[in-house]
Amino acid sequence: MQKNLKILVIVFVILSALLAFKQLSPTLFVKRSLYEEKIKTIKKESIKNINIRKDSQELKLVKEGEVWKVEGKKANKDKINNFLEALFPTITPELISQSENRHEEFELTQSLGTFVFLDDRLGFVIGKPAAGGGLYAKFDKDNNVFILKDLDSYNFSTSSSYWVDKTIFSIERSKLKKLTFNKNGQTITMVNKDNKWLEEKSNKEPDKDKFESILITLSSFVANDLWDAKNTKIYPVTPQLELMIDYDGGNEKISFYKGKEDTKVNRASDKEEFIISNTSAEKFLEFNP
């Protein structure tokens, strides 16, 4: 009787151990999806080069230190990070097909797809939009087709203009010390005295709404586009306004050249030129405290 009881106890312990192992095994032995097996070969944070090619158009993004560049210009890091996040999703992409026969249907062929290579180590082919959102995609030289739900056709491009950082100026308003408006031979200087802005000569406060609009814009002054030398539009030879910005740690000068359709803006520190709308320019051009 005692022997049988011991046997039952041993059997119970073994069964309990097997049950516990069965419950824990999914977390101990997680099987990676086909997509995860591919992207594990490279760390998203370590990527230094992104090559994008479609038809005869090709573009390369290069990371120099902590700064992304495109054709020698500073690139928009947020756009690049969002693009990489979509290629390295946290939720496993849905596997749609494992057949090469459907590649043309999903526009994933050599002539229809957009090819993306990361550090020349991991290649993607991106196709057309999927019905439920996202884009069809596959890995280079691989037949499996997935849907990348967080990727849209407007998230990337072979045009450098899309990737270039179009920020003209950006700063926390608390760091602004002085704004000097030079226009039509007249100078208006606004100074920040203990977080209160005053016109330097009269010591009077400016029109609150007008000046607040300028401060908000300077906190993130982004252009519509870069100015292109091929642009045939006509702008004044001399600027209608030169805005001097003094802030903690430095200064900047931004010059405005208003045309009929839009305004060309020059940033003195690197001589970069941008295009903004006339509506955006007018808040600066027409400012009068």
Predicted pLDDT of residue 33: 84
**pLDDT of 139-176, one tens digit each?**
999 999 999 999 999 899 999 999 999 999 999 999 99
User: Which residues of the chain are modeled with pLDDT < 70?
Assistant: 1-32
Specify the domain boundaries for CATH 3.30.1490 within the chain: 167-285
Q: Quick: pLDDT tens for 163-209.
A: 999 999 999 999 999 999 999 889 999 999 988 999 998 999 999 99
Contact 212, 205 (CB under 8 A): no
Taking the C-alpha atoms of residue 151 and residue 33, their distance in angstroms, rounded to an integer, is 19
Q: How far apart are CA 154 and CA 83, in angstroms?
A: 10
Q: How far apart are CA 60 and CA 48, in angstroms?
A: 10
Q: Six-digit token pair at 222? A: 């982004």
- Give the single-character DSSP code of 75: B
Of 262, 197, 192, 184, the C-alpha closest to 228 is 262
- Position 277 scores a pLDDT of 97
State the CATH architecture for 167-285.
2-Layer Sandwich (3.30)
pLDDT of residue 185: 87
**Tokens standing for residue 273:** 């030129």
DSSP H helices, the chain, are 2-28, 34-39, 77-87, 160-163, 208-219, 278-285
Q: What is the pLDDT, as a whole number, of residue 24?
A: 46
- The three-state DSSP-derived secondary structure of 218-278 is HHCEECCEECCCCCCCCCCCCCCEEEEEEECCEEEEEEEEECCCEEEEEECCCCEEEEEEH
CATH number for the domain running over 34-163: 2.60.40
**Residue limits of CATH 2.60.40 in the chain:** 34-163
Pair of tokens at residue 215: 């401060």
For position 19, what pLDDT does the model report? 56
Radius of gyration of the chain (CA): 29
Query: Please, are residues 83 and 162 in contact by the beta-carbon 8 Å criterion?
Result: no
pTM: 0.77
